[in-house]
Every structure is written in structure tokens, then in C-alpha cells.
């Protein structure tokens, strides 16, 4: 079992990477309130369950996907317990079949690592190198739970605030039903 500790909005944060720093700067700029937990490194779904319990939420699953040529990239956000089927995603978006993008591309384009993929990566994606795609069910929830760009810190915020942040970054999320 992982150790989980609550941290308030006002607690100082030691940043683990540029994305994490940009996330909290953007929250401050936009006045976005959040709850946060600091954890040991999260690896299993059981670890996620402990975080969900602490923040009284359901964490989303964020997948970094690409087409065969690796010319189009997608951050796909779906419910944490929902199975992913490439065929369903591709059909709903009206594109050719996708697969998981290489870890190096996740680091290069989304500024994070496997296990910490987050729609918040859009903050640093000034060139719009990837699209943010939501499963409609995620946007129907009042709250949104995700990584802050690290594998040791997790957030709960209002879903409407997340969408507002993405739009402020120039990313209009696509919404599909899968």
C-alpha cells in the first residue's frame, strides 16, 4: 500500500519537472482551486484506489496514442476502470486505427512519463503537437482526478475548471463516446 498525504492549495510545492511547475502556475493564474495528495510512486490500480479514496473521486485514465506514421498524436482521457479498445476510439474520432505512442514521444511532446500522462500537458503544448480527446463520460462528472505530471502527486479539481484551463491554453478538447 502506498503512503498518501493530503496537501492544501496553499502548501509550497517542490517541483519535480517543468510540467508540474507549469500546472500550478496556471492554476494560480486562472484561480483554479484543487485538492492534492502526495504519494509514493503510483504503479498499480490498487495504488489509484487509495488516491481515489483519499480525494473522494475517481481518477481518469489518460492514454497517449498515435497513428501508424507517428504524425498525429492524441491524449485520450477516459474513465479509469473503462477498457480501452483502439478500434472504438478510432471509429468514434473518424480516423485510422491508433496505437500507443512510444514513451520517448510522451516525454518529448507531453513533457511527462508513462504513468503520469495528463491532459494538463496541454499547458506546455504551445505548438499543438497533440489533440486532447475526452470520453464524454469523463466530462459528465463534476470532478476530475489526474496526475499533475508526475507519478507522485495527484489532483482533484472541477471538470469545468479543467476545460477552462485547456481553452485558455488554446486547446479545444474533442469529445467522443466510446
**Torsion (CA) 28, 31, 32, 36 in degrees, nearest 10:** 50
Record the pTM: 0.89
Instruction: Provide the 3-class DSSP secondary structure of residue 11.
Output: coil
> What's the pLDDT score for residue 41?
86
> What's the pLDDT score for residue 47?
79
> What's the pLDDT score for residue 2?
42
Provide the residue-wise pLDDT of the chain in tens; the chain has 178 residues: 344 444 455 555 677 789 999 999 999 999 999 999 888 887 776 778 888 888 999 989 999 999 999 999 999 999 988 999 999 999 999 999 999 999 999 999 999 998 899 999 999 999 999 999 999 999 999 999 999 999 999 999 999 999 999 999 999 999 999 9
> What's the pLDDT score for residue 4?
42
> What's the pLDDT score for residue 16?
79
59 contact partners, CB below 8 Å, separation of at least 6: 48, 51, 52, 80, 145, 146, 154
> What's the pLDDT score for residue 11?
58
Cα 114–162–52 angle (5° rounding)? 60
Amino acid at each position: 500500500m502506498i503512503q498518501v498525504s493530503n496537501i492544501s492549495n496553499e502548501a509550497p510545492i517542490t517541483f519535480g519537472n517543468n510540467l508540474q511547475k507549469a500546472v500550478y502556475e496556471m492554476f494560480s493564474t486562472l484561480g483554479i482551486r484543487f485538492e492534492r495528495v502526495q504519494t509514493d510512486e503510483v504503479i498499480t490500480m490498487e495504488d489509484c484506489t487509495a488516491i481515489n479514496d483519499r480525494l473522494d473521486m475517481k481518477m481518469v485514465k489518460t492514454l497517449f496514442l498515435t497513428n501508424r506514421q507517428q504524425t498525429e498524436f492524441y491524449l485520450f482521457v477516459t474513465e479509469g476502470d473503462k477498457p480501452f479498445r483502439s478500434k472504438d476510439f478510432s471509429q468514434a474520432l473518424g480516423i485510422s486505427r491508433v496505437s500507443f505512442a512510444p514513451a520517448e514521444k510522451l516525454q518529448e511532446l507531453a513533457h511527462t512519463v508513462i504513468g503520469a500522462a495528463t491532459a494538463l500537458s496541454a499547458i506546455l503544448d504551445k505548438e499543438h503537437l497533440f489533440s486532447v480527446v475526452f470520453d464524454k463520460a469523463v466530462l459528465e462528472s463534476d470532478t476530475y482526478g489526474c496526475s499533475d505530471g508526475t507519478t507522485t502527486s495527484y489532483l482533484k479539481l472541477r471538470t469545468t475548471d479543467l476545460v477552462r484551463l485547456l481553452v485558455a491554453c488554446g486547446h479545444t478538447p474533442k469529445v467522443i463516446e466510446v
